Every structure is written in C-alpha cells, then in structure tokens.
Amino acid sequence: MRSFDQSGHSSSGDSVSMKPEQRAYAPSSSSRGKSKHMHDAQDFIPRSPPSSPYEFVSKEVSSPEHSRDFELSDRIPSPAYSISDEFASNPFERHAFFPSSSVGVTEQSAFGVQDHMSRFPSPAYSSSDESAPEVAQITQPQITQPSYGLDVMSRAAQYYASSQRLLRPSSPIAFNSPTAHPLLETSILTREGASLCWDVRLAPSTATVRSLTLACTERSLPATNPPIRCMKVALPQLPWKPMTITSENYISCSDLLSELYASLQKVVRKEEYDGFSKDKQIKVVHAYYMRCERVGQLAAEERFNRKFDCTSREHMEEAEAVRKTEQQKGVKLVDCVFDSTEFYSLVPDVQNDGASQLTWIVTLSPPYS
C-alpha cells in the first residue's frame, strides 16, 4: 500500500497526480497514523479558498497531543444565519421604518394616544366636553342628475329632494335624526355596505360606485342630511379620539373623504408603536408592507396605463422603486386598521344623540374581493 506526502508523490518514488482540493486539505505529517476523525487544529487551515459557505478556523491548543474531534461549532456561519437568529423572536419587529423627524399622530393630528376611550357599546365619546358650534341655516344644494344615470344616483337625488324618509319600523334611526348620504350609508333593507367602493389606503379620487368613478356632482353633495358645517368622525378600529371636520358652507362627500384620508396618512411614531402589544405590532407591520406593495403596483399601472403585470420587468422595476420610497415614509395610521381597508358605512351614533355634538361613526371592513 502506497503512502503519499503533501506534494502527491508516493514513497516508492512514483509520481501520482492528486486533485487540487485533495492536496489543499491533505493531513499534515504529524497527524498520520491517527484516526480519520482525529486531527490537529492546524490540519483545518485552508490552503485554498473553501468551496462551502463556511470558513474553517484554527483553534489554539496547548500541545499537539490535545487533538479532538472536529465539530460544527468550529465553523463560522455565513451572515444569513446570524440575521435569521436576530429575528427569530419577532420576525417583523425590525422591519418597520420610523422616520426620526416624524411628528407623530399625537401632535400632528386630532388623534392622541392619551385620549384612549372605549368604543363599545357606543363609540360616541359622550364624555367629550367640546361644545357644538352654532350652525346657521344652510340652503339645500340644487341636485342635478348624474350623467351616468345609475339608479343609486336617482335614489340620492330623491333623498335630498325631501327632508324626511320612509324607514322601516325596526330601524333605530328616528325620523328627525340626521342621516348620511345614500352612497355612504348601509342599505336599510339588505344591511349591505355602502354603494361607495373605496380603499382608504388610496386617494379619494380612486373611489368608485359600481366600478364607475364618482362624478363631481356627487362629490359636491352634502355628506349628511341636513347639511352641517362641523362634524365629529370616529373610527371604532382606532384607539384615538374622533377627528373634527369643518367647512365654511357645508361638509360635502369630498370633504369627508379627503379629511378621512389625510388623517389616516399621519405617521405613527416609534414610541406609539412600542405601546402596542406584540401581536398588534406584527399585524401593523404586515399591513405596512401590504400597503407599500399596493402603492407600488398602482404607480406602475398609472405610468404604463395598463393592469399590473408581475411578469413584466418594467412593471416590477417601477413598483419596486415606488415601494421602497413609500416604506421610507414609515408606518402610518392606516396601517393600524390591519386588513380593514375598505370603506363600509357612515352612520350617526344614535345611542348618544343627546350629546352636545353628534358623533358620526365610520366603519371599515376587509375588502369584498
């Protein structure tokens, strides 16, 4: 049986070729005669770049006699493993971005963490000490029939032509109670959501009615009947106090949707995010990523004027660029509603109709499709 030295020559003088990797990791002469699993530490010093993602590291030993079995712990794992270990406890905690210069929800909007109040049984916040401003008599706007002639639009015109409506006897709304625009309220007969289809993560201009863009004549109609100049709007899904919307003439549907969208676009500060439970933090960050991805896809559709195609390189590049830009803006208040991103209804809080100012409840729901 032939024995070989590190150069690949046999003891008998014959030259035998060895593969480069065999020569690179050939055992030293001090380890000959030992078990195949027993080597000195210097036997694992690489003599050429290793082909595996691990790097072999030599261990200092007191003497050549203290040789031991080689273990996986003697290897330095690749950076991918260390990153996975960091996020093992909470894989979403470090992914959310919070701008250092953001003012936050509590200072930038009418919402405040210190104003947490119970939403049930009625999210009307009857403890509010704000007094309702005096509202002057407002002339009913003249209604024009929309050009696309939907029956729901005809119902809206008939709705504003009279100051009273015929309600079912089981309806909890009194005949003299204020009501919302028919496009914004739930159906009394079917109890379905409002006719308005709007993803609150997107601008109000994307709102549609039966797949048709909302006409300007409908946007300019009052959001309530009778029309009002000041209204408090609460969202049961959010733990902050209601927002206040004002207008010089009357609050239109466009005013309501625009103010609601602007309020939900407020940035959430890191301190406010840390106050959430771990389960809620994970849901918020998931909604944050879904929103940024959705914004990127819509930007690609708008630029190339066609439906987003995930197999198109130009679509993917445009969506990726917009997504990264949106992520740098940080977590927003709309992310705190999780997957309830679809406008469902606007109804008055009739349970506390004796309060100084009536509060209107905006309900959100998961997307229909």
Averaged pLDDT, 126-141? 42
Same domain as 214, residue 147: yes
Same domain as 248, residue 112: yes
Residue 23: which residues within 8 A CB-CB, separation 6 or more? 6, 7, 8, 47
Same domain as 201, residue 289: no
pLDDT at 250: 94
**Count of structural domains, the chain:** 3
Q: Say if CB 225 and CB 143 are below 8 A apart.
A: no
Same domain as 125, residue 61: no
Same domain as 292, residue 219: no
Same domain as 71, residue 139: no
Same domain as 164, residue 232: yes
Report yes or no on 276 lying in a domain: no
Is residue 10's pLDDT more than 60?
no
- Pairing mode, strands 196-197 and 208-209: antiparallel
Is residue 34's pLDDT more than 60?
no
Is residue 19's pLDDT more than 80?
no
Q: Which of 57, 76, 95 is the last residue of a domain?
A: 76
Report yes or no on 17 lying in a domain: yes
Same domain as 316, residue 173: no
End-to-end CA distance of the chain: 75
Predicted confidence (pLDDT) per residue in 212-254, tens digit? 888 888 899 999 999 999 999 999 888 788 899 999 999 999 9
* Nearest residue to 161 (alpha-carbon basis) of 214, 225, 216: 225
Same domain as 21, residue 129: no
pTM above 0.75, yes or no: no
Query: How big is the chain by its Cα radius of gyration, in Å?
Result: 34
Same domain as 259, residue 192: yes
pLDDT at 88: 39
Same domain as 314, residue 259: no
pLDDT at 159: 42
Domain extent at residue 192: 105-268+332-365
pLDDT at 301: 94
Report yes or no on 90 lying in a domain: no
pLDDT at 300: 95
Q: Is 196 helix (H, G, I), strand (E, B) or coil?
A: strand
Same domain as 128, residue 188: yes
Predicted confidence (pLDDT) per residue in 273-288, tens digit? 999 999 999 999 999 9
Predicted confidence (pLDDT) per residue in 325-361, tens digit? 999 999 999 999 999 999 999 999 877 655 678 899 9
